[in-house]
Structure 1
Amino acid sequence: MFSKLTIVVASVLITLAAAIPNTVPVTPPTSDQCCQSVVDSNTTAAGAVLAELGIDLGDITVPVGLSCSPITVVGNNCGDITTRCDAPEIAWHGLIAINCIPITS
């Protein structure tokens, strides 16, 4: 009787452990960029570039960097706006970077 109870309890615990969702937030990778400007995604300028690239952000308004290039050297003198953006899954040839937060020192 005791061994059957142990198996049932172990089975229930395993089932519960599998049913509990993983609640660890996933942080997207970021990329330091030098952008000519940072505007909201719902502006005309950002909308034109997003439409040209076929990117649909829906109703989400996020800061986007326009005319960006990656900063790959420590101490690089950007000359424009140094930002930290979500690393793109695909390259948009420096036209735009999504979810850019200016870096101030």
Structure 2
Amino acid sequence: MQFTLLASLATLATLAVATPTRRGGEPASQCNTAPVQCCDSVQSADSPAASSLLALLGIVVQDVTIPVGITCSPISVIGVGGDSCSANPVCCEDNSFKGVVALGCVPVDLSL
């Protein structure tokens, strides 16, 4: 029994080390809070710039490490026409602040 458990743990450890992780963000097609946003910057909510904007807007966040997109605009259709993002393409959980800030942003890869 112990040998089987050890063999299973060794196999899992090997798979964990060998499994590649994506470094460029999730594919833009996986953003279920569409549209994908293009933000001038993405910072932690406790950064000076983000915390100042959040305070001015009266936004209280529970997690001060949540990524906040600053000065964002939507990217409507990926790969069609001229839509692109030369700054920070992100998928955000809350885009309801008219582009000033977006909450819970994760980087996306526009090429996927």
* Pair in the same fold by TM > 0.5: yes
Matching residue within 78, 84, 91 for 1:77:
84
Question: What are the ranges of 5 or more consecutive residues in structure 2 without an aligned counterpart?
Answer: 1-31
**Corresponding residue for 1:103?**
108
Which residue in 2 is equivalent to 1:10? none
Match of residue 38 from structure 1: 42
Q: In the TM superposition, what is the alpha-carbon distance from 1:87 to its structure 2 partner?
A: 3.6
Structure 1 residue ranges (4+ consecutive) displaced by more than 4 angstroms after TM superposition: none
Q: Distance in 1 between matches of 2:108 and 2:62?
A: 26
Q: Cα distance, 1:59 vs. partner?
A: 4.5
Q: Share of identical aligned residues, percent? A: 41
What are the superposed Cα offsets for residues 23-65 of structure 1, whole Å, 9 maximum, x if unpaired? xxxxxx5231000011000111000110111101144420010
If you compute each CA radius of gyration, which structure gives the higher value, 1 or 2?
1
Structure 1: gaps of 5 or more residues:
1-28
SS of match in other structure, 2:102: strand
In 2, the alpha carbon distance for the partners of 1:59 and 1:100 equals 13
* In 2, Cα distance between equivalents of 1:37 and 1:58: 21
Aligned Cα root-mean-square deviation (Å): 1.6
- Aligned residue for 2:89, secondary structure, equals strand
Matched letter for residue 79 of structure 1: S
Normalising by structure 1, we get a TM-score of 0.64
